[in-house]
Amino acid sequence: MRTITVAGGDLFHIAAEQLGDATQWIRIAQLNNLSDPMLSGVVTLELPDVDPNAGGGIAVQ
pTM: 0.85
In 3D, which of 41, 9, 18 has the Cα closest to residue 27? 18
In 3D, which of 33, 58, 56, 61 has the Cα closest to residue 46? 33
In 3D, which of 6, 61, 7, 59 has the Cα closest to residue 31? 59
Report pLDDT for 51.
86
Report pLDDT for 61.
47
Spell out the domain ranges in the chain: 2-47
Architecture of the domain spanning 2-47: Roll (3.10)
Report pLDDT for 57.
57
Report pLDDT for 1.
87
| Per-residue pLDDT reduced to its tens digit, 13-59 | 999 999 999 999 999 999 999 999 999 999 999 999 998 788 665 55
Q: How many CB atoms lie within 10 A of CB 1?
A: 7
